[in-house]
Amino acid sequence: MAVQIPKQLETVVSWAKNNTLAVVFTSIAVIVPVGCYFAADMMAEGVRKEAQRRAGVYSDLTAAVNAKVELPVPGGDPVKIEGLATAQVVEQFNTLLSKVSKDADDVYAAARAFNAGSDGRGKHVPVVEAVVFPKYDAKSNSVAEQVRFKVADAIAAAYAKLLEEARAGSPPEDSTLTKSIEAAEKRFVQGDLKQESRAKLTADQAAQLDKFLGKVRIAEYTEAAKKISIYANIGAFDVPSRSSVTGLYKKPEDAAAQDRALFEMQWKLWVATDVMHAFDAANQNAASVLQSPVKRLLSLKVLPMETLAVSAGGQASPMGGEAPAASAPAEGSADGSAPAEGATAAAPAAPAEPVIDRKQEAKRDYSKHFTGRVSNGVYDVRLAEVTFVAETSKLPKIFDALAAQNFMTVVNVRLAPSDPFFAARSGFLFGPEPVSEVTATIETIWFRDWTATHMPASVRTALGITSATPAGADGAPAAAQGM
């Protein structure tokens, strides 16, 4: 049965059927504006997003163009660039870095050679072979004692040779001088004054004799002075002897302390060698001590080097000071006891190569000295306090000679007048020029990548130097470890 619709709708439907075009166009007039509105809104959103994107790009480009970039250059002032760093700029910067790196390597190599000497002729070499020290059997008391004696003897001999090379000497000994004066007195009394002895002389003759003997004494002093370049003797240095090292370390657990003490003796000798060679260079063109810029060495003391390392007992100890005995058992012994009588102890393994990062920053601390140099992972700083008599006007030449010999800088100096007439009474003749007594604190530098190769394991530990672990059974090297 068909559905009946209201008469009002029938009238509308009938009218729509008779007026189709009107209905269609009326619908279009209503729908199109609404659709256009939504379409226009969608298009505007896309335009806004695109405009924002382009504005962001433009802003980034503007910021890049107006940017000021600083490219760091190791060891120098940064390179400043205004604007966008192009590919060409980056390439040029990489070239610059490569050159700086090569220059740094060349400078380091030259500095190391200046500090240590060439491979064929080192400035500083150990006084004994490595098999004697530090590669000795520390578990044997008798071996340890013999090592102490050998090192002490060798260092004492090295100091004696150092004085010989510098043409050092002393005034005539009293016994020698007395014999010369007695012989001269006898000749003058009997030959010139025609008397049997001093007791027979008149007051005037006695005065003549005293004046003559004074000239004889000065002549003896002058002859001795003409044969040397500097007044110095072994007492000016801290020289070890067998008696000074006997019985210092008696137990196997003292081996680390012994190693530190023996290497410190070696290190002090190296410092003294540089200073004496510098003095010798300053005096090179002088015929004798009468013309030498450096007249007399009174004392040369190498100051202890403070380290940040902590000993096994938990106390920090400076290099060169009293070294506490290590509490750890001796190497190769479970309880630290000495090997049984007659037992054969294996020779200790040689310390592995030290690991030195020469590219690390050597920081400065200007609270110490005006140079700012302090011990770091690349080099160690040792200070020496040297007291000597020198020609006052030649001090700049002497300080230049110190710097030319090695990395040595006078960081502090104290001057006091020196009385040449008072010194002459004891036989020290300094020549006609004014002289001063100088106490100088000298800073010396020691590159670790060669000093560490001669260090015992305990010294490397005290300085915080690591050593490369030998390759394992499979040939692969293990990680670096502390020595």
Does some domain include residue 332?
A: yes
Confidence label for 61 from pLDDT (cuts 50, 70 and 90): low
* pLDDT given at position 128: 94
79-89 average pLDDT score: 69
296: Cα separation from own chain's centroid: 28
| Helix ranges restricted to H, 125-202 | 141-165, 174-187
**Tally of residues, the chain:** 483
Residue 336 has pLDDT above 60, yes or no: no
Q: Which domain holds residue 86?
A: 79-115
Q: How far is CA 409 from CA 48, 162, 398, 440, in A?
A: 71, 21, 11, 10
Strands 168-169 and 466-467: what pairing? unpaired
Residue 67 has pLDDT above 50, yes or no: yes
* pLDDT given at position 221: 93
* pLDDT given at position 213: 87
Q: Average per-residue pLDDT in the chain?
A: 80
Phi, psi torsion values for 467, nearest 5 degrees: -130, 145
400-406 average pLDDT score: 95
Residue 327 has pLDDT above 90, yes or no: no
Bigger pLDDT: 331 or 257? 257
Reduce the DSSP state of residue 437 to 3 states and report it: strand
55, 84: one domain: no
* pLDDT given at position 94: 80
- 12-21, 247-256, 299-308, 320-329, range with the lowest pLDDT: 320-329
- Domain stops at, among 18, 35, 61: 61
> pLDDT tens digit string along 425-461?
999 999 999 999 999 999 999 999 999 999 999 999 9
- Measured between alpha carbons, how far is 382 from 304 in angstroms, rounded to an integer? 8
Does some domain include residue 123?
A: no
55, 98: one domain: no
Confidence label for 45 from pLDDT (cuts 50, 70 and 90): confident
Bigger pLDDT: 350 or 299? 299
223: Cα separation from own chain's centroid: 43
401, 306: one domain: yes
Does some domain include residue 224?
A: no
364, 398: one domain: yes
For tokens 């040029």, name the residue. 92
Domain tally, the chain: 3
pTM for the model:
0.73
* pLDDT given at position 322: 43
99, 49: one domain: no
Which among 422, 430, 358, 425 is positioned nearest to 394, based on CA atoms?
Answer: 430
> pLDDT tens digit string along 93-142?
788 778 877 888 888 888 888 998 866 667 888 999 999 999 988 888 88
Residue 4 has pLDDT above 80, yes or no: no
39, 96: one domain: no
13, 86: one domain: no
Does some domain include residue 254?
A: yes
444, 372: one domain: yes
Amino acid at 185: E
Does some domain include residue 173?
A: no
Does some domain include residue 30?
A: yes
356, 289: one domain: yes
423, 457: one domain: yes
Strand ranges across the sheet with 354-355 = 354-355, 466-467, 481-482
> pLDDT tens digit string along 224-264?
999 999 999 999 999 999 998 887 777 777 888 899 999 99
317, 450: one domain: yes
Percent of the chain, pLDDT > 70? 72
Bigger pLDDT: 371 or 138? 371
452, 367: one domain: yes
Phi, psi torsion values for 10, nearest 5 degrees: -60, -40
Indicate the helix (H) or strand (E) that contains 210: helix 203-226
Does some domain include residue 127?
A: no
321-349 average pLDDT score: 40
Does some domain include residue 11?
A: yes
